[in-house]
Amino acid sequence: MEPLRTLRLAAVNIDGVLLDDSFSPVLHRLVLKYGGTYTRELEQRLFSQSRLAAAKVLLEETGAGVSEQEAVADYFAEREHYLRDHPVHTLDGAEELLHRLRALGLDVICYGGLGEDHFQRHLGAWEHLFTAPHYICTDEIRPGIREIVRDRFGLDYHQVLFIDDVARFAAHARDLDVPFVGRPSTFEHGFQPVLMRELGVRHLVGGLAEIDEERLRALDREAGSGTVWQPAGSLSGPLSGPREVTG
C-alpha cells in the first residue's frame, strides 16, 4: 500500500472511538441524579474537559451541594455502577482501522482522559499497533492537540489526523486547521452528531469501517492543500497549492 504524502501521524481517541462510549450515559445519569436537566448546552460544556473543570460546570448548572472533588468521586462511583451492566468493549472495526492506518505509513497514538491503566486494560493486546508512548492522558492538557502534535511528535498541525467523538474537540481542531474525522456517539440522549454537523465537520462517520483507504487518501490530499475544513461546496473551485511539509 502506497504511503500517504502529507499525513504522518494518526491520533485516535480511546473512549467513543476505539472503545464504546461509557461517558455520555454516566454523565447523563449524574446530571439527573443532581436534579439537573441534560441539555445540548450542558453536554457541550461538560465534554472534553478536565475532571475538575467538568465538575465545576456540573455544579454550576445543577446547584448540587457537593464539592468539585466530591462530584468527581460521584462520577466514578456512578461509572463503576454503570459498567457492571455495560462492560467496556472495543468497537467494531477498531483493530482493522489501526492496521489500515499503519499500512498507509502512519504512526498511531492513542489518547484520552483516563490514565494509562485504562489503555492497558482494554487495548494492551494491541499495543504493538501504536507508536511509543502508545497512549497519552490528556486530562490535564485538554484538548491536547498542541501537546501531541508539537511537543510529543514535533510535527506541523496539518500532518496529524485526529479521530474523536466530541464536538468541542472538533472545534479546537477546526481553529488550528487540523485534519479531523468525527465519530460521534450514538447515545440516545446525546447531541454530538448535530453539534459536529453544525461545526462543519465534513468527515463525519457512523462506524470505523467508513474510515477506509479512500477516505484517508482524500484527507491526505486535503491536508496537503489546506482544505480539510473548507465547506464541501467550495471544494469544486481551484485549490490552494500544496503546503510545504516539514519534519
Spell out the domains of the chain, with CATH numbers in brackets.
Answer: 9-20+90-236 (3.40.50.1000), 24-85 (1.10.150)
CA atoms within 13 A of residue 183's CA, in its CB half-sphere: 24
Question: CB-based contacts of 126: which residues, under 8 Å, 6+ apart?
Answer: 95, 98
Q: What pLDDT was estimated at residue 71?
A: 98
Question: What are the DSSP calls for 103-130, one per residue?
Answer: HTT-EEEEEESS-HHHHHHHHGGGGGGS
Task: Give the residue among 210, 208, 144 at the shortest CA–CA distance from 176.
Answer: 144
Average pLDDT over the chain, rounded to an integer: 94
d(CA 112, CA 122): 13
pLDDT tens per residue across span 90-131: 999 999 999 999 999 999 999 999 999 999 999 999 999 999
Instruction: Give the length of the chain.
Output: 247
* First CA to last CA distance, the chain: 22
What's the pLDDT at 235? 47
The pTM assigned to this predicted structure is 0.92
Q: Which of 108, 129, 99 is nearest to 12 (CA)?
A: 108
Positions in the chain short of pLDDT 50: 235-242, 244-247
CB 178 within 8 A of CB 162: yes
39 residue type, one letter: T
With contact defined as beta carbons under 8 Å apart, do 121 and 101 qualify?
no
Q: Which residue has the cell 494491541?
A: 126
Q: Which helix or strand (DSSP H or E) is residue 30 part of?
A: helix 24-33
